[in-house]
Amino acid sequence: MEIEVITKEDLKVFEANLIKALEELFKQYHTSLNEHPEGYKTSDVRKILGCCTNKLVSLRISRNLRTKKVGGTLYYNKDDIKKLVEEGF
């Protein structure tokens, strides 16, 4: 069995690499939060379709509208909205 000795310098190098890696992860996380999701907010969809909130809930339940929830805000899939408009909703 081979024993490997770790020096203080090795630990300092490891610490610097670890901090650098964590900073990169935080930057990626921060930029992903600032990106706008692909979709419309509820108020926009209501204006486009000319319907009430209860109708949107009904369309979500029937799976005619796909949604994504980001930070407490629902975003509706643009393709689903386009399909409903083309069908003459």
What is the per-residue pLDDT for 43? 93
Question: Residue 57: which H helix or E strand, with range?
Answer: helix 53-61
What is the per-residue pLDDT for 27? 85
**Closest Cα partner for 77 from 34, 32, 37?**
37
What is the per-residue pLDDT for 35? 61
What is the per-residue pLDDT for 33? 57
Distance CA 71, CA 73 (A): 6
Distance CA 85, CA 64 (A): 12
Helix axes 42-49, 53-61, angle to 10 degrees: 100
Ranges under pLDDT 70 in the chain: 31-37
What is the per-residue pLDDT for 7? 95
Which pTM was predicted? 0.57
What is the per-residue pLDDT for 58? 94
What is the per-residue pLDDT for 1? 78
